[in-house]
Structure 1
Amino acid sequence: MILHELITYDTLRLIWWVLLGVLLIGFALMDGFDLGVAMLLPFAGKTDIERRIVINTVGPVWEGNQVWLILGGGAIFAAWPLLYAVSFSGFYLAMFAILAALILRPVGFKYRSKRESARWRRNWDWALFIGGFVPALIFGVAIGNVLQGVPFRLGSDLRIFYEGSFFALLNPFALLCGLLSVTMLIMHGANWMILKTEGDIRARGRVFGRWASIATLVIYALGGLALWAFVGGYQVTSTFAPDGPSNPLGKTVAVAGGAWFANYAAHPWTIIAPVLGLLGPLVVLLALQLRREILAMAGSAMAILGIIASVGLSMFPFILPSSIQPEASLTVWDSSSSHMTLFIMLVVTAIFLPLICAYTTWAYKLLWGKVREKDITDGGHAY
């Protein structure tokens, strides 16, 4: 038996669909609070010292947290080449805006305190705000467009033709999803700030955390209702082979209202995802009332897990539907790399992902504790 045949092709495809979700959720959990803290920076700190405290809650860890974004992009490129090609071509300007905003983050951290000028530092604070807000918004807008279907088609030779525009991405439902992403990450960032600070900053964090958790709960519920009432879902209407070749044009697809909710009826256990998405913000509200900082952080993590997982589970087996040529929609079963490629990548992932998790755990244990004013005024490695 050839080594890669130890795991069947359809099983490998399913494993990599799960791993893609794990990497996206890992990015939202780990780098999400960095983005949330950046969005809160101009409002959470009233003085320069307070803002430096806020920055130093994420300063030592943000670079390591971005590893999850790199892993996610690499996984899409290697495991789902058609998904990578379509999404990075169709969302080119949106991706460019995200990268431009993310570039502001390291520059802001390094240059903010290089001058004593209040105006200089204030401008960099707003640059860091943009570096958090723009990626959070656009990632959510992208998910909103994926749920509605992306305007691409495939030729008979599988050449990709994208027929959308950047401004068409900014439709009402997608913007609602973008707003949900913003409030969700602000909630996560506020809880991290509460966990890492004291005094007035922590008190303001509680206020931001409460309002963001309420907004996340309401917007997620409204988004679910809008998805049911106004957004057509996709269903494969022909027989297909889960271990067949990667040719998206070998199936037929129908679009029907409420189709994205069919998986919850077919597999009732999947309802746990939206339940966690709704329960998480309520846990945050309760934890903030009880002043249980770690529980509040767990609640926002629960919300992120549930909200992102609910998208993947409702869409399965689709990973990128086409709004103008439904049969060209990409699914788990017809848009992956080869059997051998998926197996080799799985072996590599099984080796390196635990190492990344172990190193991350060690780093956070080493850096555990509050960021205090004396840590800033004493100098050292403070930003």
Structure 2
Amino acid sequence: MILHELISYDVLRVIWWLLLGILLVGFAVTDGFDLGAMALLRATAKIDVERRVVINTVGPIWEGNQVWLILGGGAIFAAWPQLYAVSFSGFYLAMFAILVALILRPVAFKFRSKREEASWRNKWDWVLCVSGIVPALLFGVAVGNVLLGVPFRFSDDLRIYYDGTFFGLLQPFALLCGLVSLAMMVMHGASWLVFKTDGEVAARAARFGAMAAMLASVLFALAGVWIAMGINGYEITSAINKVGPSNPLAKTAAVAQGAWMANFKATPVLWLLPLLGVVLPWISALGMRSRREWLALLSSGLAIVCIILTVGAAMFPMILPSSVDPRFSLTVWDSSSSHTTLFIMLVCVMIFLPLILAYTSWVYSVLRGKVDPMAIIKGETHSY
């Protein structure tokens, strides 16, 4: 027996769908508090030393956190090539805006303290603030467009064509999803600042974070009601060959009212995901206001996990529906790489993912504790 046949093709496809979700969740939970903390920079820190404290809560770890984004992009490229082709070409301008923001963030980290002038540092503070807001907002807008359907199509030879525009992405429901994403990232960033700082910075972070948490809960619930009442979903209407070759044109699909609710009706235990997505932000807000730091940070992180998993559970087995013709939609069963490729990649993941997790855990352990403003003022530590 060939080694890769130890795991069947359909099981490998589901495993890689789950791994893609894990990588996206890993990025949202780790780099999410980076983005949220920087989005709150000017609101939580009023003087220079306070802003340096906020920056130094994420400065030493942001690079490691962004590894999850790189891994996610690599997984899409290797495991779901058609998804990569559509998303990275169709969302090109949005991706470009996100990358510009993510590139400017480390530049601001490095250059902000090169000069003492207040105006110089103030400009870089604004760059850091915007670099936190833009990716958090646009990632949510992208998810909203995925739920609505993306205007792409295939030719008979499987050549991909994208018929949309950048401004076409800014639909009301997609913007609502963007606000959900921004609110939950701000919540997570605030809980991180409460965890890593003291004094006025922590107090302001708790105040703004509690408001963001409540807003994230309300907006997420509103998005769920909108989906249930007014957003059409996508469903496969033909027989499914789970071990067949990847060819999106080999199936038929349709737009159907309530299709995004079908998995929850078929498997009621899945309702725990959106329920926790609504409840956990309130627990995080309570933790921030009562200065129960671990409760606030853990609840905000789990809220993000549940919100993202809610989307995945609603869409399965759809990955990227087409609003041009449902038949062109990409699913778990017809848009993956080959059986051999998925197996080889799985072996690599089983080797390297534990190493990444172990190294990340070690880094966070070394950098545990709160950022001391006096150590920054006295120059006792290597700080930004």
Name the TM-score class by shorter chain: over 0.9
Alignment match, 1:272:
272
Aligned partner letter, 2:15: I
- Pair 1:382 & 2:362 matched: no
State the partner residue of 1:125: 125
2:322 maps to 322
- Using the alignment, how far apart are the partners of 1:351 and 1:276 within structure 2? 32
1:171-210 superposed Cα distances (whole Å, 9 cap, x missing partner) = 1000000011000000000000000000000100110111
> In structure 2, what is the Cα distance between the partners aligned to 1:253 and 1:191?
43
- For 1:212, the equivalent position in structure 2 comes to 212
2:242 equivalent to 1:246: no
User: Is the Cα–Cα contact under 8 Å of residues 276 and 305 in structure 1 kept in the other structure?
Assistant: no
After the TM superposition, which parts of structure 1 deviate over 3 Å for at least 4 consecutive aligned residues? Answer: none
Contact 2:283 2:296 in 1 (8 A): yes
- Of all paired residues, the percent bearing the same amino acid is 63
Hey, what does 1:56 align to over in structure 2?
A: 56
CA contact (8 A) 2:284 2:296 kept: yes
1:256 Cα deviation after fit: 1.1
| Alpha-carbon offset, residue 290 of structure 1 | 3.1
Deviation at 1:42, TM superposition (A): 1.1
Identify which range, 362-371 or 268-277, moves more after superposition.
268-277
- Of stretches 268-277 and 234-243 in structure 1, the one that deviates more from structure 2 is 268-277
| Residue identity opposite 1:343 in structure 2 | F
How many pairs does the alignment contain?
383
Q: Secondary structure at the match of 1:249?
A: helix
Would you say the 8 A contact 2:24–2:68 is kept in 1? yes
Question: In structure 1, what is the Cα distance between the partners aligned to 2:183 and 2:289?
Answer: 19
Q: Distance in 2 between matches of 1:382 and 1:290?
A: 29
The amino acid that maps onto 2:382 is: H
Query: Is the contact between residue 194 and residue 291 of structure 2 (CA under 8 Å) also seen in structure 1?
Result: no
SS in 1 for 2:213: helix
Corresponding residue of 1:334: 334
Name the structure 2 match of 1:227: 227
Q: Distance in 1 between matches of 2:234 and 2:361?
A: 40
Separation in 1, partners of 2:314, 2:50: 43
The code of the aligned residue for 1:95 comes to M
Aligned to 2:161, the other structure's residue is in SS state strand
Q: How much has 1:288 moved relative to structure 2? A: 2.5
What CA deviation, in whole Å up to 9, does each residue of 1:320-367 have, x standing for no partner? 000011101000000000000000000000000000000000000000
- 2:34 matched to 1:34? yes
Give the unaligned 5+ runs of structure 2. none
Deviations 1:1-43 (A, max 9, x none): 0000000000000000000000000000010000000100011
User: 2-side partners of 1:276 and 1:320: how far apart?
Assistant: 25
> Does the CA-based 8 Å contact 1:29-1:304 persist in structure 2?
yes
Report if the CA contact (8 A) 2:213-2:284 is conserved.
Answer: yes
**Is the partner of 1:31 in helix, strand or coil?**
helix
Task: Supply the AA of the counterpart residue of 1:121.
Answer: R
The C-alpha deviation readout for 1:70-108, integer Å capped at 9, x for no partner, is: 000000000000000000010001000001111111100
Q: Aligned equivalents of 2:273 and 2:136: distance in 1?
A: 21
Aligned-residue offset at 1:282: 1.8
User: Do the aligned partners of 1:29 and 1:301 also contact (CA within 8 Å) in 2?
Assistant: yes
- Residue 254 of structure 2 contacts residue 326 of structure 2 at CA under 8 Å; is this kept in 1? yes
* Aligned-partner Cα distance in 2 for 1:244–1:276: 36
Q: Distance in 1 between matches of 2:291 and 2:132?
A: 26
How far, CA to CA, are the matches of 2:266 and 2:237 in structure 1? 16
Residue identity in the other structure for 1:10: D
Instruction: Identify the residue that residue 157 of structure 1 maps to in structure 2.
Output: 157
The match for 1:237 is: 237
1:189-204 → structure 2 map (5 Å cutoff): 189-204=189-204
Larger mean Cα displacement after TM superposition, 320-329 or 284-293:
284-293
Residue 236 of structure 1: CA displacement?
0.5
Query: Match for 2:275: what amino acid?
Result: V
Task: Give the aligned CA root-mean-square deviation in angstroms.
Answer: 0.7
Match for residue 174 of structure 1? Answer: 174
CA-CA distance at 1:131 after TM superposition: 0.9
Alpha-carbon offset, residue 214 of structure 1: 0.7
Unpaired runs of 5+ residues, structure 1, are none
